[in-house]
Structure 1
Amino acid sequence: MKFLKKLVKVVLSLAILGLVGYGGYKWYKKRQFERSQAERTMVYATVEEGPLIINLLESGSVKPREQITIKSQVEGRVSILYIRPEGERVKKGDLLVELDASTMTDNKLNQEITVQNAKSSYVQAEENLEVVKNQAQADVEKAELNLRFAEEDLTKYKDGEYPKILNEAQSKVTLSEEELKRAQDKLEWSQKLFDEKYLSESEFLSDKLSCRRHELDLKSAKNSLELLEKYTYRRQIAQLESDVSQSKMALERIRRSCRANVVQAEAQLRARELELNRQESRLLKLIEQIEKCKILAPADGLVIYSTSSQGSFRRMNAEPLAEGQEVYERQELIYLPVGDEFIGEIKVHETNLKKIYPGLPVRIRIDALPGQIFQGKIAKIAPLPDAQSMWMNPDLKVYNTQVVIEDGAGLKSGMNCEAEIIVEQHEKAMYVPVQSVVKISGQPVVYVKTPTGVEKREIKVGLDNNRMIHVIEGLKVGEEVQMTPPLDSAVSVRLTDEILDVNIPDRPQGEANGGGPGGMPRRRPQGNWRQGGGMPPGQGGAPEGGMRRPEGQGGMPPGQGGGMPQGGVRPEGQGRPRGMRPQRPQGEGGAPGGPQRPPQQPAGN
């Protein structure tokens, strides 16, 4: 029994080994057959050695190297009354363009009237200033005279009139006292004589009345003196001092008022002068504008319309210059070439900028002159891409490049040309087709045919001319390389992310809680509408439980636009709610995932 069991095991082992060997043999034969079939269909290119020219071919147009740009310098929009025919040669001083100046001529007449009125106002303001100054001087002098008179009246009363009046009043009191004493003495004698019957009663009464009158006169004189000293003198002094103070204040008011009047008159004069200058400037400007309506040739040359020399895009948006067409200020009208030197203006793609630089030789072929080749050099490369090309196609970046043509005999402005820029010339160089070279981890690689199969080999390359690429080392003349190398090995996939040494700040509290900028909470509708990335239920589409627009009627087809796809739930990865950052797809930018097949790019670029 043990022997039989061992025999069975040996037989089974041999059978299994036979099956495995047979399977391996069949697989090997199949691989050999597939390899032979692939080698039959594989295209190879032979490594060659010989003259190699690294060049760039760009199309463009011929333009004069030096030209005078004639622009409209008339403000606003005006019509063309006359324009010199295109292609005609003119001499310095010849009329090129005449613009309509009828409206400006009418405005000029009105402006001349305005200038005359401004001159009249200016002369009136100038004379008014002199009158105001004269009147101010007279008023000030009169106020000063009144003040001096008031001060003199006060001094005269204190030192002259009052002492005189006081003296008269005191003298009157003294005289009244003397006369009263004499009257009293006489009355006393009359009384004695009347008592002794030597004097009549009438005479006695007369003396008595005279005494009484002198008493009243004395009392009146004393009262007048008292009034003068206590009231009249004080009142008169206060009145005269007030007159002096009022005269001083009146003088100050008049001085200030006169200064204000003079300043106002001077300001009015300056305003009239500025107004006059402004109106005269407008008149001069109108005269200059009328003169600019006739554009004369600044030099001898050939008339070329600006619309004929512009690019195709601008020509589609601009009408050709003609009589009756309106032009605006600073619009280019005519190009006037001076001299017989020309340049070729071409546009170089941004990927070729590293190949060219000023001074490179250029061979130029003219479409209208077949068989002729003109020589030139790169003179200038624009520092910024062409704005017109960027406006038409934002993804297209081309740079205007000027090529100076050395001998431009027979050339005319506007001719189409093809410029061949000679970047490098090699009398003996090794080269292969540019599509046979791929880059693996930044290193140029080719697949070389060997007796044992295809061998991957790293090489060192130079520049290419979009057809052949210069091989510096790594290959030998006569070897064969694949024209269609496998691209899967040329894809660089970063399997791990590199941790950077940076500090990531914390999210603000308001945004961390689901709020928007500024900490304001963001309102979210209920429901798991985030999954599809579209709009919440009941917003932007059919209401819940309501009727939905039939497919294909009025609107975008199912699955297109911003609506929900069929079934009501958007699959993952289609759309996203506002404010959410889209997730980077796998396999892109170093994230884990399968490699993406990029388009083939030449290794020499």
Structure 2
Amino acid sequence: MKEAKPTRAPRGGYKTVLVLILALVAAGALLWGLLSTGGGSERNNPQGKATFKVEQGPLAISVAQSGTIQSMNQVVIKNEVEGRTTILYLVREGTRVEKGDLLIELDASRLQDDMIDQQIRMMNSEAAFIRARENLEVVRNQAQSETERAELDAQFAAEDLKKYVEGDFPKDLMAAEARITISREELRRAEEKLEWSRVLFEEKYISQTELQADELAAQRAQLDLDLALAELELLQNFTYRRKLDELRSQEHQTAMALERVRRKAAADVIQAEAELRARDSEYQREQMRLKKIEEQIAKTRIHAPNAGLVVYATSTQATFRGNVEPLAEGQEVRERQELIYLPAPGSVKAEIKVHESNLDKVAVGMPVRITVNALPGRVFEGRVANIAPLPDAVSVWLNPDLKVYNTDIEILGNAEGLRTGMSCRAEILVADYDEALYVPVQAVTRIDGVPTVYVRKGGQFAPRTVDVGLDNNRMVHILDGLAVGESVLLTPPLESSRPRGAGQTGSQAGQPPGGGRG
């Protein structure tokens, strides 16, 4: 039977071919069961099997993904007002603005009220600060005055002690000794006079009364001497000691009082300084709060930092429930919420998501062909600029089994007509072979993890190990193991495959049959 070269069926005819293949497999299994008791049958019967002759020619390996046109350099305008606030004015989307143009005005009435209250608090804090500053000067002055007074008291007490020991006491001592000397001299003279008076009285020269007066004078002189001696003893044994102890105690008390005054003065000054620092800190904090509120009020009017085309952030955002609510006047926005994208004109890129099965094929710098749905017939050239190191978190959250990596495609040359948000399709050119052997990816299966094809040998198909390279999800590059013109089975036996990941081809298991070698 002459074998005709198979042609590719249209996409609508794949289901019919699959039904025929399954029917043939079921019929073969039934026939094998019927004949197994009669000595067996040929399990590799080629009749009715779809085959493909190994071809050699140009083969392009590429990865095609849909994506969106985005600005290469765009400014993201965010709401920097704390809490939630309402949009009072919003520039129309699609408007071309210049640097300094008003984009958004937010409600600042609450902040205006807060600013008035804060101004009152700041003035009260300023008054407290001034009062604390003046109080510090008063405390320092008073502390200096009290310290000087205590120092004088201590100095006078020390001088009084020295004055008594070196001046008053020696003077009193000399006075007491002088009185004793005088009293003794007066007593001697009184006694001599009394003795002469007695002689004269015996001679009848003086009267009895005159003699008695001289006796009385002698007694008075004796008493004065005794009194002077007693005063000297009192001065030495009692007055001096008491006065000395009193002055020493006074000196010690004034010295301790001076120490107390100094410590108290230092404590008062430190407390006043601490109070001043606290009031100063509070005043500065109130000033910072007022400045922050003023800055928040200024941020309610958002101006364009550069020229560009206005794109609402909500126009490019979506959730698992669908698109988010469009940005509009009267809408409440939260802090740090993205409001407007302001792309720089003339600098665009394509953003696509590359499936994890194609990561080993794609690399930074690879050329890319880009087509845009809104610009039919135009093809833009580009290159892979960046591949995210981690899978897209939103896609993983929506479908944990789907791992795609955000990839940026830099558009080279003239990008006129491209606008942010346009849908596009990017074809990454992984490899381009002028002459390469290739077979359909479904012809390659894995037996014990080794790429294998079933090659016609006479009237049967025998498994043969091959070395495969990259595939483009339709054709796989054969590096070794096949020759041009050999026929391979497009539907390898099901029992030859292994568990998922070992017996599936690149199109079935999400990876190239050869593990990405090229």
TM-score, length-scaled by structure 2: 0.85
1:397 aligns with 2:403: yes
**Partner residue, 2:6:** none
| 1:145 aligned counterpart, secondary structure | helix
Deviations 1:486-521 (A, max 9, x none): 344443xxxxxxxxxxxxxxxxxxxxxxxxxxxxxx
| 1:413 aligned counterpart, secondary structure | coil
1:103 aligns with 2:110: yes
**Partner residue, 2:230:** 223
Q: Provide the C-alpha distance between the structure 2 equivalents of 1:371 and 1:389, rounded to a whole number of angstroms.
A: 31
**Partner residue, 1:158:** 165
Q: Provide the C-alpha distance between the structure 2 equivalents of 1:67 and 1:224, rounded to a whole number of angstroms.
A: 112
Q: Which amino acid aligns with 2:372?
A: I
**Partner residue, 1:366:** 372
Q: Shift of the alpha carbon at 1:57?
A: 1.7
Is 2:59–2:436's contact at 8 Å kept on the other side of the alignment?
Answer: yes
* Change in CA separation of 1:313 and 1:60 when aligned onto 2, cut-off 3 Å: farther
Q: Shift of the alpha carbon at 1:465?
A: 0.7
Report matched runs for 1:12-411 at 5 Å.
Answer: 31-32=40-41, 35=43, 38-191=45-198, 200-313=207-320, 316=323, 318-406=324-412, 407-411=414-418
Is 1:487–1:600's contact at 8 Å kept on the other side of the alignment?
Answer: no
Q: Provide the C-alpha distance between the structure 2 equivalents of 1:126 and 1:72, rounded to a whole number of angstroms.
A: 41
Q: Shift of the alpha carbon at 1:201?
A: 4.7
1:601 aligns with 2:505: yes
Q: Provide the C-alpha distance between the structure 2 equivalents of 1:209 and 1:99, rounded to a whole number of angstroms.
A: 122
Q: Shift of the alpha carbon at 1:219?
A: 1.5
Please list every run of 5 or more consecutive structure 1 residues that lacks an aligned counterpart in the other structure. Answer: 1-25, 492-594
Aligned length: 474
1:459 aligns with 2:463: no
| 1:355 aligned counterpart, secondary structure | coil
The structure in which a higher percent of residues are strand is 2
Q: Which amino acid aligns with 1:211?
A: A
| 1:600 aligned counterpart, secondary structure | coil
| 2:274 aligned counterpart, secondary structure | helix
| 1:435 aligned counterpart, secondary structure | helix
Q: Provide the C-alpha distance between the structure 2 equivalents of 1:597 and 1:214, rounded to a whole number of angstroms.
A: 144
Q: Shift of the alpha carbon at 1:296?
A: 0.3
Is 2:46–2:459's contact at 8 Å kept on the other side of the alignment?
Answer: no
Q: Provide the C-alpha distance between the structure 1 equivalents of 2:134 and 2:309, rounded to a whole number of angstroms.
A: 59
Is 2:62–2:428's contact at 8 Å kept on the other side of the alignment?
Answer: yes
Q: Provide the C-alpha distance between the structure 2 equivalents of 1:239 and 1:599, rounded to a whole number of angstroms.
A: 116
Q: Which amino acid aligns with 1:158?
A: V
**Partner residue, 1:572:** none
Q: Shift of the alpha carbon at 1:27?
A: 6.3
Q: Shift of the alpha carbon at 1:400?
A: 0.3
Q: Shift of the alpha carbon at 1:482?
A: 1.3
1:435 aligns with 2:437: no
Q: Which amino acid aligns with 1:349?
A: H
Deviations 1:198-226 (A, max 9, x none): 65554444443333333222221111110
| 2:482 aligned counterpart, secondary structure | coil
- After TM superposition, the structure 1 stretch with the greater mean CA deviation from structure 2, 176-185 or 416-425, is 176-185
Q: Provide the C-alpha distance between the structure 2 equivalents of 1:443 and 1:135, rounded to a whole number of angstroms.
A: 99
* Change in CA separation of 1:224 and 1:28 when aligned onto 2, cut-off 3 Å: closer
Q: Provide the C-alpha distance between the structure 2 equivalents of 1:441 and 1:458, rounded to a whole number of angstroms.
A: 11
Q: Provide the C-alpha distance between the structure 2 equivalents of 1:44 and 1:31, rounded to a whole number of angstroms.
A: 25
Q: Shift of the alpha carbon at 1:365?
A: 2.4
Q: Provide the C-alpha distance between the structure 2 equivalents of 1:216 and 1:233, rounded to a whole number of angstroms.
A: 24
Q: Shift of the alpha carbon at 1:148?
A: 2.3
Is 1:488–1:597's contact at 8 Å kept on the other side of the alignment?
Answer: no
Report matched runs for 1:516-531 at 5 Å.
Answer: none
**Partner residue, 1:537:** none
Q: Provide the C-alpha distance between the structure 2 equivalents of 1:210 and 1:74, rounded to a whole number of angstroms.
A: 115
Sequence identity (%): 51
Q: Which amino acid aligns with 2:442?
A: Q
Q: Shift of the alpha carbon at 1:28?
A: 9.4
| 1:422 aligned counterpart, secondary structure | strand
Residue number among 417, 441, 454 corresponding to 1:447 in the alignment: 454
Q: Shift of the alpha carbon at 1:467?
A: 1.1
Q: Provide the C-alpha distance between the structure 1 equivalents of 2:65 and 2:162, rounded to a whole number of angstroms.
A: 109
Deviations 1:533-561 (A, max 9, x none): xxxxxxxxxxxxxxxxxxxxxxxxxxxxx
Please list every run of 5 or more consecutive structure 2 residues that lacks an aligned counterpart in the other structure. Answer: 1-34, 507-512
Q: Which amino acid aligns with 2:479?
A: I
**Partner residue, 1:500:** none
Q: Provide the C-alpha distance between the structure 1 equivalents of 2:201 and 2:494, rounded to a whole number of angstroms.
A: 175
Report matched runs for 1:545-584 at 5 Å.
Answer: none
Q: Which amino acid aligns with 1:355?
A: K
Q: Cα RMSD over matched residues?
A: 2.5
| 1:42 aligned counterpart, secondary structure | coil
Report matched runs for 1:496-515 at 5 Å.
Answer: none
Q: Provide the C-alpha distance between the structure 2 equivalents of 1:231 and 1:292, rounded to a whole number of angstroms.
A: 90
Is 2:448–2:503's contact at 8 Å kept on the other side of the alignment?
Answer: no
Is 1:56–1:420's contact at 8 Å kept on the other side of the alignment?
Answer: yes
Is 2:467–2:514's contact at 8 Å kept on the other side of the alignment?
Answer: no
**Partner residue, 1:584:** none
Q: Provide the C-alpha distance between the structure 2 equivalents of 1:599 and 1:451, rounded to a whole number of angstroms.
A: 26
| 2:479 aligned counterpart, secondary structure | strand
| 2:148 aligned counterpart, secondary structure | helix
Q: Shift of the alpha carbon at 1:433?
A: 0.9
Q: Which amino acid aligns with 1:144?
A: E
Q: Provide the C-alpha distance between the structure 1 equivalents of 2:466 and 2:500, rounded to a whole number of angstroms.
A: 25
Q: Provide the C-alpha distance between the structure 2 equivalents of 1:597 and 1:97, rounded to a whole number of angstroms.
A: 54
**Partner residue, 1:6:** none
* Change in CA separation of 1:59 and 1:386 when aligned onto 2, cut-off 3 Å: same
* Change in CA separation of 1:604 and 1:597 when aligned onto 2, cut-off 3 Å: closer
Deviations 1:166-225 (A, max 9, x none): 111111112222223333344445555666766555444444333333322222111111
Deviations 1:17-36 (A, max 9, x none): xxxxxxxxx8697645x658
Q: Provide the C-alpha distance between the structure 2 equivalents of 1:338 and 1:598, rounded to a whole number of angstroms.
A: 49
| 1:167 aligned counterpart, secondary structure | helix
* Change in CA separation of 1:218 and 1:457 when aligned onto 2, cut-off 3 Å: same
Deviations 1:34-82 (A, max 9, x none): 658x533422222222322111121111111221111111122221111
Q: Provide the C-alpha distance between the structure 1 equivalents of 2:72 and 2:399, rounded to a whole number of angstroms.
A: 28
* Change in CA separation of 1:56 and 1:410 when aligned onto 2, cut-off 3 Å: same
Q: Provide the C-alpha distance between the structure 2 equivalents of 1:311 and 1:601, rounded to a whole number of angstroms.
A: 35
Q: Provide the C-alpha distance between the structure 2 equivalents of 1:122 and 1:136, rounded to a whole number of angstroms.
A: 21
Q: Provide the C-alpha distance between the structure 1 equivalents of 2:321 and 2:204, rounded to a whole number of angstroms.
A: 153
**Partner residue, 1:426:** 433
